[in-house]
Amino acid sequence: MKPTYIDLSEYIGEKVKIRYRFYTDPEISGDGWYVDDAEITDALFYNSEVCSISDQTEQYCSSAPERGTFVESQIPTATEEDHSRAVFDIMPNPADDLIRVIMSSAKSENAIVSIYNLTGHMLSHSTWNLSEGTNQKTIDISAYASGMYVVQVKTSEGMRSEKFVKE
């Protein structure tokens, strides 16, 4: 997968909204594409030259003095979900018409369970009454198109998201 870098420096001090448009070629079957590991960085650039050689071509060198070479910052800019809380599983995965969400709870409480498509639109939202121990709920996904979806569970202990595939 090739990383994409976008210079937003002209928007410093302004609110910025980033819009993604998702689509797939109708000839292709499968999930489509994903946005993962998005990172906003204070980029570091160094002026340098890069050279490449293969058994089919002569050595080729290139430089970008006006832009330099991007060096990844390695500074984390996202939060990690706490996987020790709000733990749940989705079965089967991939699924046809029904999924079963199995979740453990240390106490009786409410959980807010939402399903999103990959464009971020909420498709369903409900409050579940959890009892202490293991809880199971079945969700009808027969009306959903084939593709990838995200189940998000929020409890007083935290929030967790898991992906599932509808075939």
- Average pLDDT over the chain, rounded to whole? 75
Percent of the chain residues topping a pLDDT of 70: 57
Q: What is the mean pLDDT of residues 79-105?
A: 77
Which pLDDT value is given to residue 77? 45
Selection from 23-27, 50-54, 69-73, 121-125 with the highest mean pLDDT: 121-125
The number of residues in the chain equals 167
CATH of domain 88-166: 2.60.40.2550
Please say if the pLDDT value at position 144 is more than 80.
yes
Neighbours of 144 (CB within 10 A): 17
What is the residue extent of each domain of the chain?
88-166
Tens digits of residue pLDDT in 122-134: 999 999 999 998 8
CA dihedral 34, 37, 39, 43 (to 10 degrees): -100
Q: What is the mean pLDDT of residues 85-91?
A: 75
Tens digits of residue pLDDT in 16-37: 777 766 655 566 555 555 666 6
Which pLDDT value is given to residue 146? 93
Which pLDDT value is given to residue 40? 60
The tokens for 100 are 């079963």
CA 90, 92, 98 angle in degrees (round to 5)? 90
Which pLDDT value is given to residue 98? 94
**Of the listed ranges 37-46, 127-136, 150-159, the one predicted with least confidence:** 37-46
CA 71, 73, 77 angle in degrees (round to 5)? 145
Spatial separation of the C-alpha atoms in residues 92 and 160, rounded to whole Å: 18
Q: Sorting pLDDT into bands at 50, 70 and 90, what band is 156? A: confident
Predicted model pTM: 0.50
Which pLDDT value is given to residue 111? 92
Please say if the pLDDT value at position 9 is more than 60.
yes
